[in-house]
Structure 1
């Protein structure tokens, strides 16, 4: 009798614990976007720092827009993957820039400069796994996404009112030009020799 009474008392707690686990697990599949100010204390100030800060560097083709901030991309080439979880042709979801100001060299940078990826186009991304779901985030906001095709500098970022080029724009253009030069022989999507 005591045995059945003990089971009757303990069983609801066990079942309650199991149902809480399922709730948490299902929550992890949904992205709860944090403001950029919470994701980035500051941005990389060089290409070396960007590469060091990024556990994953991949060349991708954007497939579609899953929602306002989430983009589906297909991995074409893996340049770096410290997680060792990605494979060529994997389709992953990447959270694109979503909002508020971040810091570069101690100065705030407006986020209306970020230009989202376009479907069917190829990009080099510097990313990390998200802490809030089964997706990926840019490691250094707008500094983490570069088209692999040659594009005029003025078309890389969204239009803005400033007539002078800021430090962060100069850094973005420098990294972009370096990537183009480095990948010149394979620039137009010859992905036959990944990794």
Structure 2
């Protein structure tokens, strides 16, 4: 769970969100989990958590289980505002399934669209 400051709102049907408001956003990964004495990042398909002081375009929805927000899709809902190389967008975890590679390709296509806007 990370605290996020809203800089710009493109769409909010609830009318609850306001610019400069801070909200909590839940990401689908956990960093530095100790397993058998070693620390690992547990993630879905190489997802990288948001970094402090970086800006992102997020697609969020209100959580059904708390006063926070969640990404509408674990992989396809967070895009850095500043363009990054594809190899910086996902953790490398060895072998990738074909489905994961397809998701990464879809992400890259959507990322280019988000950057245009």
TM range (shorter): 0.7 to 0.9
Q: Pick one of 29, 50, 54 that aligns with 1:121.
A: 54
Please state how far the C-alpha of 1:93 moved relative to its aligned partner. 0.1
Structure 1 or 2: larger helix share?
1
Runs of 4+ in 1 over 4 A off after TM superposition: none
2:87 to 154, 161, 165: 154
1:34-53 matches, cutoff 5 A: none
- What does residue 106 of structure 2 align with? 171
Q: CA RMSD in A?
A: 1.7
Question: Are residue 133 (structure 1) and residue 66 (structure 2) matched?
Answer: yes
C-alpha separation between the residues in 1 aligned to 2:61 and 2:67? 11
Match 2:3 to one of 68, 72, 80: 72
Q: For 1:98 and 1:119, how far apart are their aligned partners in 2?
A: 16
Larger Rg: 1
Tell me which residue corresponds to 1:41.
Answer: none
CA contact (8 A) 2:26 2:68 kept: yes
User: Higher relative CO (CA 8 A, sep ≥ 6), structure 1 or 2?
Assistant: 1
TM-score calculated relative to the size of structure 2: 0.81
Deviation at 1:112, TM superposition (A): 4.6
Task: Give SS of 1:146's match.
Answer: strand
Structure 2 alignment gaps of length 5 or more: 31-42
Listed as ranges, the matches of 1:178-193 within 5 Å are: 178-182=113-117
Partner of 1:86: 17
Distance 1:89 1:115 in 2: 24
**Unaligned stretches of 5+ in structure 1?**
1-69, 100-109, 183-195
Aligned residues: 103
Residue 84 (structure 1) shift = 0.9
SS at match of 1:92: strand
